[in-house]
Amino acid sequence: MTRNEAASDTLVIGGGVVGAALAWGLARAGERVTVLDDGDIVLRASRGNFGLVWVQSKGAKMFDYARWTRRSADLWPEFAATIGAETGLDLAYEKPGGIHFMLSETELEAARARNFAMKDVTGPDDYGAEIVDRHELDKIFPGLGPDVIGGSYGHHDGHVNPLKLLRGLHLAMEARGVRYVSNARVEHVSKDGAGFTAETAKGRFSAAKVVLAAGHGTTELAPALGLDMPLRPEKGQILVTERCATRLLPMPTHVLRQTDEGTVLIGDSHENTGYSTASYTPVLTDIARHALRCFPALAALKVVRSWGCVRVLSPDGCPVYHASETCPGAFAIACHSGVTLAAAHAMELADVIASGSFGDRFAAFHPRRFSHAQAH
């Protein structure tokens, strides 16, 4: 195994949206950063997600997560503009708000109760979700199906092209001098004197700090650094229509999103199938059927492709941020909402990691909460 002598302040393991956002943020903070990334054959949620920057319903069972999500949504306009200015790439980010359609009184009452419970969570900042009736929805979405009885409108919701986001982050990393090493699967990471060493097929890399941000790959690497990252896979499938020259959807919904290229993404399956990314017709049929109940005009569009992607979820679905106590300088970051939290990761979490310690700031995201839950 050869030793790579290029000096770095921090190794970031994982080059998806989470790792790339942190790497760019660390470089922005003045650090020398090396990103060690696996090949594109890995389970890369960054290339298979829906592209929502979503606030409503996030953190209903963990208010710190709700506040952190809202903080990221507030940072997104500046974040997108900064990445665009540094790379010349438009991320196709928009913040028109978002709608969660309700097809039954039970769903509507549950949403109303959730919005009421969440209205004061963000303190002086408005949670920004309100119930809208069918009459109001018809003004926003002409052509809704008869089964839609109302919805929840989130003022702070938006969407982005996730492929352009990932590309933009990598271009921005390069512009700031981040060293990106592809096809460098990390086989082992360890404490090495005052720093850390990661062993890969492309050599051995060392730095003063290390950040594990490799999605499901983080779970295997974490124990060697005194880190605990309990993660579980969940598959989601997506249908994609042909491009439509007209704007059918003025804003994203929780199951439908029209992209900047004109296609419509249709999704929202939640499947316990392990690490499988296979697409199955019965699930896709259910997805399509639900979409047509919401917006029958989609029946005129051809479906051109579909895919399955594996989400990165903790036991409670909320982020896990862990700073090692036995190996100071080692961090592990994992979350399902990598796109929504990209701005906060890049513009705030990276600065905290650069300082070398979380302190008490992210105590709510510590994995000890899972052992506490089991104890009770």
Evaluate whether the domain defined by 10-49+163-230+316-375 bears CATH number 3.50.50.60.
Answer: yes
pLDDT at 3: 53
- Whether 351 has a pLDDT exceeding 80, the answer reads yes
Q: What's the average model confidence in pLDDT over 114-121?
A: 88
pLDDT, averaged across the chain: 93
Pick 124 or 67 by higher pLDDT: 67
Residue 372, pLDDT score = 63
The reported pLDDT for the residue numbered 373 is 58
Give the mean model confidence (pLDDT) for residues 343-368.
Answer: 96
Within 10 A of 206 (CB to CB), how many other CB atoms are there? 20
* Residue 8 CB contacts under 8 Å (≥ 6 apart), including other chains: 32, 33, 34, 179, 205, 206, 207, 208
Encoded amino acid at 176, one letter: R
Contacts of 203 (CB under 8 A, 6+ apart): 1, 2, 3, 4
The class level of CATH for 232-313 reads alpha beta
Mean pLDDT of 315-329: 97
Helix (H), strand (E) at residue 136: helix 134-140
Give the pLDDT score at 126: 79
Contact of 192 with 206, CB cutoff 8 Å: yes
Specify whether the CB–CB gap between 264 and 248 falls below 8 A. Answer: yes
Q: What angle do CA 176, 178, 183 make, to 5 degrees?
A: 145
pLDDT given at position 136: 96
pTM of the predicted structure, to 2 decimals: 0.95
Boundaries of every domain in the chain: 10-49+163-230+316-375, 98-155, 232-313
- Give which of 240, 291, 288, 287 is closest to 261, Cα–Cα: 240
Is residue 327 over pLDDT 60? yes
Buried/exposed code over 224-262 (b: 16+ C-beta within 10 A; e: otherwise): bbbbbbebebbbbbbbbbeebeeebbebbbbbbbbbeee
pLDDT in tens, 25-82: 999 999 999 999 997 767 677 777 899 999 999 999 899 999 999 999 999 999 999 9
